[in-house]
Structure 1
Amino acid sequence: MKTNFFGLVIALVFSLSLTAQQKAITLEEIWGGAFRTEGINSLRSMNNGRQYTVLNFENGQSQIDKYEYKGLAKVGTILSSSQEGVPRFSSYTFSANESQILLGSEFERIFRWSTIGRYFVYDVESKKTISVADDKIMAPALSPDGKHVAYVKDNNIYVFEIASQSTRQLTTDGQKGSIINGVTDWVYEEEFGFVRAYQWNSDGTRIAFIRFDESEVPQFSMDVYGTNLYPYQYEFKYPKAGETNATVSLHLLEVASGDTKEVDLGDAYYIPRIKWRNHADKLSVQTLNRHQNHLKLHNVDATTATASVLLEEKDEAYVDITDDLTFLEDDSFIWTSERDGWNHIYHYDVNGKLKNQVTKGPWEVTSYYGYDAYNKRIFYQSTEMGSINRDVYSIRSNGKRKNRLTTKTGTNSAQFSKKFLYFVNTFSSADTPYEFSLHLARDGMFMQKMKDNKALMTKLEGYEISPKEYSTISVNGNDLNMYMIKPKDFDPNKKYPLFMFQYSGPGSQQVANRWLGANDYWHQMLASEGYIIACVDGRGTGLKGRDFKKVTYMNLVKYETEDQIAAAKELSKLPYIDENRTGIWGWSYGGHMSTNCLLKGNDTFEMAIAVAPVTSWRFYDTIYTERFMRTPQENPDGYDNESPFNYPELLKGKYLLVHGSGDDNVHVQNSMRMIEALVQANKSFDWAIYPDRNHGIYGGNTRLHLYTKMTQFVKDNL
């Protein structure tokens, strides 16, 4: 095995004298919140660029407090729910001119991102609070001048005028299961990552919105068992791979008159993004074909409702959708693309002509933060210090004078003030929980620490915590990122069982230099029980270039499975690994992977746990699946060759299959088909269904029960 350590072993350093006093982590502590980190809640920069606000909760009340960046002194409270007429709220948004604040409360979740809630407008000058609507509403947005609030209710768009406290309904054809105006359908929300499908223009005179006609989309139903005598069926539109999607169209609303115009976008199949340019009559629209390998960025003239193409992106596999598009003052724009093999920043003029490629190199831009017009600087996050790390940089729009603004090795992210005077750096690594610090944007100079999690570090000194050892492992012609966790009392002369964890989805990353998540604490607990934990990011995962990521195109799970099997075989050659005790687990995509590894690698893996797995890509949604596989009609072998219920006879090891019956994302149908295939093959296995639980399988003691079951399965079978 070729092993290349690309950094120091990252360890939590404890005094040797404390070793005897250290205790093992428990599941009750993990899922009881004993190791939660502290953060800063809803920080917003003020327009002056020198102050910011934070949402704080004190004595059962919520309040928006204002602070100075320089010195971090609190300078006042803008409003509090202790004031007369102000409800307790859990979200807030300023209007563009900061004259009004939109407050949200009493949220009810619909799907992954969508909610309904009660909303109020607080007038900063008069200190009065007004209710936007009598009922719960979706996706409200203040107009730039702070005079109106648009929102969606019952699939229609409404506008509330604050001064007169009057409401107008601007669309009338909205109907559940048929027409949606201004918010996304299930598959857009899940796969394109947005809910509010309308936007105000810069002067508040127009609203652009997407209309979804999902009347021909097949309907999916789930039994909800609840606590009543009879269960009921929850139904929603869900297009599975190869099936009919909603027909989408783009419309422009004149707010004053209520007149609506449809924009002709030609052969557009998907509309994954809309964004107004700085000119109030100019709108940008991104469209995709069904294969998602041809993106067009359109300019729409709102006065004539006509569109022209500004830019096109094509790829032999697929084009990713991002939120990086930024229009500068002259309506030239910043764009990110993988066209040279790595994700980088490009600058185009107002007409879509390339001015220059701003960043270059064999590394990825992972976040675009914004453009400082005064100093002509772009701020971004990238993997220039190694694919498992993140740092924040500035660079001139001409690609010169690049400056690394963060200095600590690990995961750094930034939130910049308005006018780009300051930024708040959030840093963590495998041995340092989240730290928040203030820096100057011009050069990254440290100004002041805002918050850290030293109390958690002190607490963890009393526990058995083993370091994550980062390295690479060479399999199938690639050096793959890997970490390993060994027992605290590791003895190289002993043999240990190997338990592998992975996700493996396209563009994902599990091997990253960042602070522990809940699964990391579970892995630490298992390490204290004498297991070695390993995680390998195989082909198809992200941040190592376009070709590495897109090699799995048309064959999801095939190469990823081969890499996990090969990695397990290489690790089993280590003198301290027991080659007869190798297990693997994963959730969702990772559950598909662990299932495939156990079956196709039945001479390598002795056990596997699959939580909420896909077992056939034919059962998953159009946008995600077809992006990587095209349709089942075009690529039947790609869909069926890696579907584990097509080869249940390969099962030899111990297998635990878990799903939530209320999973709206990866339907329990996946596990039911796998169960039936294993039953008909007369294979022994373990399984659990959590009633009414969604893809996250949480609520009450659910996670504690799930991980207790998984822990026992590991102990019994590995």
Structure 2
Amino acid sequence: MKRALALALLALPQIAPAQGPTVADRIQRSIDLREQWQWLTRDIATPPTWDEDGRHFHYRKTVEGGYAFVDVARDGGDKRPAFDAGVVARALAALTGKPVDPLRLPFEAFDYADGRGAIVAQIDDDTVRCTLVQTVCTVVPPEHPSRPRGFGVVRDLRVPAENHPRPSPDGRLEALVLDDNLVVRVAGGGREAWRSQDGSPADFYDPETIAWAPDGRRVIAYRVRPGYARMVTRVVAAPPGKVQPEVVQQLYPKPGDAVDQERPVLFAVADGRRIAIADTLFPNPYYLSEATWRKDGKSVAFDYLRRGFGEARTIAVDADTGAAHVAVGEDPATFVFRDRIFGHDVGGLGREIVWASERDGWRHLYLVDATTGRIKRQITKGEWIVRDIAKVDDEKRQIWFSAGGYVPGEDPYYKQWFRVDFDGRNLVRLTKENATHELRFSPDMSRYVDVYSRTDLPETTELHDARDGRLIATLEKGDITRLTAAGFRPPERFTAKGRDGRTDIYGVVVRPRDFDPAKRYPVIENIYAGPHDSFVPKAFWPFGGFSGGDKVMGMQQLADLGFVVVQIDGMGTANRSKAFHDVAWKHMEDMGFPDRIAWMKALAAKDPAVDLSRVGIYGGSAGGQNTLNALLFHPDFYKAGIAYAGCFDNRMDKIDWNEQWLGWPVDQSYLNASGVVHAGKLQGKLMLVVGEQDSNVDPASTMQVVDALIRADKTFDLLVIPNGEHSAGRTTGPVPYAMRRHYDFFLRALRGEGVADWNAR
């Protein structure tokens, strides 16, 4: 009986057990998600560009299948297409030889030219001009191409300087450099009036620094003693369409290298008499800005940044005597943040300067007596910071600026906008919504367009009256209905205390779309802790680069594979107090790790689904260095990491970024943060990715880490991308190879999954 029943059951049709998607299928689904979601929003606009006459402005917004450019009259009442996108797309295709989709034109912004008869846009490295009548697109060559400088501090002497004659204000004379000397002659190549006698190839006058006084009585130029021309040599192992490798060289100054030494030299035009300028007040320049004459021609000024980034000054020089004085200066105990130096010469006469300073611990505005260098008054004050300075109105004695942290209880990284008088009175808040705001003012400051959003609030675009912030018109209101229906959920904002138990640390959490609070999920940190900015997204638009940065789409793609993905701004990043930022100074190995680890522990305490026994980390460039350092210095917390194009040893990286945060001369602080020096401490699983032709971070930096790891007998993965640039592996590209490797690595390392044999597929 039992045997008969068994035979009968075998005779029944067999039903295969239900099977879900394979790991490879899940990875492909994550890769495809960006393209599926990117075109599902409507009416999300970018900040606009105003015409020079202030009568119109234009912007790009999302539409069905891509983007459209919109032109708007200054009162907001007349909206129309900025140009015929189909015609422009065909003209660009004729120029490039490649098809161009009119809904996905290869630029995000443009300027009108020729009375709105043409548009000019930047496409990759080219400036492109397209006429709008009988549309034709052409590449615009630079009118006067300047000599390149390696990271702004060492001139590339292989390239001739731009040496066209600079005419005097009245047009009768012209100045240029001949045989390394400054020459003044009659305009049009006429009779030579005089020339300097002390120029030589080793100490030459630079024609690109020539500046005439407004009254034509004086002329100034910089004499230059060249720095060290360090060349980074790279081998193009597989040049496209060729068989044999090629060699390329790049001028690439590194920390500690000698930079060009510039000294301003002042001459009386009438007879060529040299007016001596003592360099006592600017003895060790990292750089000098171009010389700027005061409107009355009585003095000339330039900005000085001391080598090591410890001091910044504006130096003013008397045109008759050459006597120099400090018009304003900054001399902190740690560093001057070069990217945020701001000075405005009120009226262009050298009497007052509006100056941004962190001297009270927060970035604020000051009014300075430029004849003595003394502070006349502090214009803004409080435990908040000034961010952007949009306009200083000398006649009305008003300043328009954005600020972070002004509103109690609001995310301090959100930008709110204000107007204030020079005396600090009449502080008017223009923006109100609890969101981050980007404003673009009309040339006459009578109107502004406000684009505001949060990570959970799509962009709204409004036109306002700049006098009082009154709303004139709502231009666009972002619609994410279809995106939400497709499963998009904004990242969760989360705040926890940092290492000191007092300071708020801000971050975001991205969970899988099928998140189950009853399960346990490994955590992956998307890291970029460069001290030059903050990086946790604050605005809505989620579609950007694969590595995340201020975007969330790449984090969602990774989260959907079964991870909780986070991004956090720890101490040492910018846009908070001076003390918050100073944590990075000479401590690049710190980079906010104690704060971010405390933040993740607080998240896990709140959410049992967060599994801190399986934590990964990934990032590129400075984020690549952060990733490696996580596994070197915090292996008890981080178990796996993918480091893209890391500046693993700051002695190997570009001069400006590294001397900004580690100072000069090169000292022990460089070694303390070095992944090469500390490679033997590696624990956990590591994958290194580098582009062979990285022109931002010397790719040898990665190979030196590889060498040190091998010598320390460490196991790791290495992916070198031939012809790859700095972003290699962090963008999907036509073949998302590195992305598949990225996903597979974390699935193996943190979930024990992964594809057994990719080559068998």
So what's the TM-score if we normalise by structure 2? 0.72
Residue type of the alignment partner of 1:270: Y
Whole-angstrom distance in 1 between the partners of 2:304 and 2:748: 52
1:223 and 2:264 matched? no
CA distance in 1, matches of 2:334, 2:390: 27
Aligned-pair CA distance for 1:370: 0.9
Aligned to 2:634, which of 601, 612, 621? 601
Q: What residue ranges of structure 1 are gaps of 5+ in the alignment?
A: 1-22, 57-62, 110-114, 123-128, 141-151, 162-167, 184-196
- Given candidates 256, 265, 286, the residue that maps to 1:270 is 286
Deviations 1:283-303 (A, max 9, x none): 431102212112111124457
Could you tell me which of 458, 474, 496 is aligned with 1:472?
496
Aligned to 1:482: 507
Q: How many angstroms apart in 1 are the aligned matches of 2:274 and 2:35? A: 51
2:259 maps to 1:245:
yes
Q: Which residue of 2 is the match for residue 73 of structure 1?
A: 78
| Residue 138 (structure 1) aligns with | 145
Seen in structure 2, the aligned counterparts of structure 1 residues 665 and 306 have a Cα distance that, compared at 3 Å, is farther
The CA distance in 2 between the partners of 1:323 and 1:661, in whole Å, is 35
Distance in 1 (alpha carbons) for counterparts of 2:516 and 2:334? 47
Give the AA of the match of 1:361: G
State whether residues 227 and 258 of structure 2, in contact with CA within 8 Å, keep that contact through their aligned partners in structure 1: no
Counterpart CA distance in 2 for 1:138 and 1:430 is 41
2:494 maps to 1:463: no
Q: CA deviation at 1:471?
A: 1.4
Per-residue displacement from partner, 1:424-446 (whole Å, max 9, x unpaired)?
21222102343332111111111
The one-letter code of the counterpart of 2:145 is M
Per-residue Cα deviation, 1:565-585 (whole angstroms, up to 9, x for no partner): 444455555522223211111
Question: Is contact 1:25-1:463 (8 Å) kept?
Answer: no
Supply the distance in 2 between the matched residues of 1:24 and 1:278 (Cα, whole angstroms): 61
Q: Using the alignment, how far apart are the partners of 1:355 and 1:365 within structure 2?
A: 19
* In structure 2, distance between residues paired with 1:377 and 1:268: 35
Deviation at 1:410, TM superposition (A): 2.0
SS of the aligned residue for 1:644 comes to coil
DSSP-derived class of the 1:649 partner: helix
The residue number in structure 1 matching 2:649 is 616
**What secondary structure is seen at the aligned counterpart in 1 of 2:556?**
helix
1:373 Cα deviation after fit: 4.1
Q: In the alignment, is residue 405 of structure 1 matched against residue 417 of structure 2?
A: no
2:448 matched to 1:423? yes
Q: 1:700 to 1:570 in 2, by over 3 A?
A: closer
* SS of aligned partner of 2:651: helix
* Mapped contact 1:366–1:381 kept (Cα < 8 A): yes
1:370 correspondence with 2:387: no
Residues 395-434 of structure 1, C-alpha deviations (whole Å, 9 max, x = no match):
1211112121112222212121122101121222102343
- Cα distance in structure 2, aligned partners of 1:107 and 1:212: 34
The number of residues matched between the two structures is: 641
Cα 1:136–1:311 change in 2 (3 A) is closer
Decide whether aligned partners of structure 1 residues 345 and 303 sit closer, same or farther in structure 2, where only a CA change above 3 A counts: same
Change (3 A) 1:595 1:201: farther
Supply the distance in 1 between the matched residues of 2:451 and 2:598 (Cα, whole angstroms). 36
Do the aligned partners of 2:450 and 2:464 also contact (CA within 8 Å) in 1? yes
- 1:672-691 aligned at under 5 Å gives the runs 672-691=703-722
Deviations 1:220-242 (A, max 9, x none): 22223422233332223222112
Q: Determine if contact 2:49/2:57 at 8 Å carries over to the other structure.
A: yes
Q: TM-score, normalised by structure 1?
A: 0.76
When the two chains are superposed, the root-mean-square deviation of aligned CA atoms in Å is 4.7
- Counterpart code for 2:745: F
1:344 to 364, 383, 387: 364
Shift of 1:689: 1.3
Question: After the TM superposition, which residues 120-519 of structure 1 pair with which residues of structure 2 at under 5 Å, given as runs?
Answer: 137-138=144-145, 154-158=160-164, 170-171=176-177, 181=206, 213-214=225-226, 216-225=228-237, 226-227=239-240, 228-250=242-264, 265-266=279-280, 267-274=283-290, 276=292, 279=295, 281=297, 282-301=299-318, 307-321=324-338, 322=340, 324-329=342-347, 331=349, 332-351=352-371, 352-383=373-404, 384-385=406-407, 386-454=411-479, 458-477=482-501, 478-515=503-540, 516-518=542-544, 519=548
Asked whether the 8 Å contact 1:560–1:593 carries over to 2, the reply is: no
For the Cα contact (< 8 Å) 1:632–1:639, is it kept in 2?
no
Matched with 1:190 is none
Query: Quick one: distance in 1 between partners of 2:118 and 2:377?
Result: 39
* Distance in 2, Cα, partners of 1:543 & 1:64: 32
CA distance in 2, matches of 1:177, 1:591: 39
Secondary structure of the equivalent of 2:618? strand
| Cα separation, 2, equivalents of 1:258 and 1:65 | 55
C-alpha contact 2:461 2:474 (8 A) present in aligned 1: yes
Give distance in 2, aligned partners of 1:298 and 1:99: 40
Deviations 1:23-71 (A, max 9, x none): 9974345379935986458713434x45447799xxxxxx999853113
Q: Percent identity?
A: 22
The verdict on how the C-alpha distance between 1:252 and 1:106 changes in structure 2, with shifts beyond 3 A counting, is farther
Q: Does 1:548 align with 2:565?
A: no
Counterpart residue identity of residue 43, structure 1: T
Match status 1:27 vs 2:43: no
Distance 1:28 1:283, change over 3 A: farther
- Tell whether the 8 Å contact from 1:274 to 1:283 is kept in structure 2 after alignment: no
Q: How far apart are residue 608 of structure 1 and its match?
A: 0.7
Show CA shifts across 1:625-647 (max 9, x none).
Answer: 222222364x22x2222222223
Give the residue type in structure 2 aligned to 1:69: R
Return the letter of the residue paired with 1:27: I
The structure that has the greater radius of gyration is 2
Contact kept? 2:307, 2:664, Cα under 8 Å:
no
SS in 1 for 2:309: coil
Q: Deviations over 1:113-143 (max 9, x none)?
A: xx7x6899x9xxxxxx9x9998875369xxx
CA contact (8 A) 1:138 1:153 kept: no
Asked if the contact 2:110–2:122 (Cα under 8 Å) also holds between the matched residues in 1, the reply is no
The whole-number CA distance in structure 2 between the counterparts of 1:76 and 1:251 is 52
1:137/1:527 CA distance change after superposition, 3 Å: same
Does residue 655 (structure 1) correspond to residue 686 (structure 2)? The answer is yes
Per-residue CA deviation, residues 175-230 of structure 1 (Å, 9 max, x unaligned), is 999989577xxxxxxxxxxxxx7888879999977676545332222223422233
Q: Could you say what secondary structure the match of 2:710 adopts?
A: helix
Are positions 1:532 and 2:538 aligned together? no
| Equivalent residues of 1:180, 1:213 under 8 A apart | no
Q: What SS does structure 2 have at the residue aligned with 1:418?
A: coil
- CA–CA separation in structure 2 for the residues paired with 1:542 and 1:703: 35
The worse-fitting range, judged by mean Cα deviation, of 268-277 and 225-234 is 268-277
2:3 corresponds to which residue?
none
Using the TM superposition, name which of 669-678 and 373-382 deviates more.
Answer: 373-382
Letter in 2 for 1:590: G
**What code does the residue aligned with 1:68 have?**
A
CA distance in 2, matches of 1:348, 1:71: 39
SS in structure 2 of the partner of residue 525 of structure 1:
helix
Equivalent-residue separation in structure 2 for 1:373 and 1:699 (angstroms): 45
Cα distance, 1:449 vs structure 2: 2.7
1:567-578 superposed matches below 5 A: 567-573=599-605, 574-578=607-611
User: What residue in structure 2 maps to residue 696 of structure 1?
Assistant: 727
Shift of the 77–661 alpha-carbon distance from structure 1 to 2, 3 Å rule, reads closer
SS for the counterpart of 1:329 is: helix
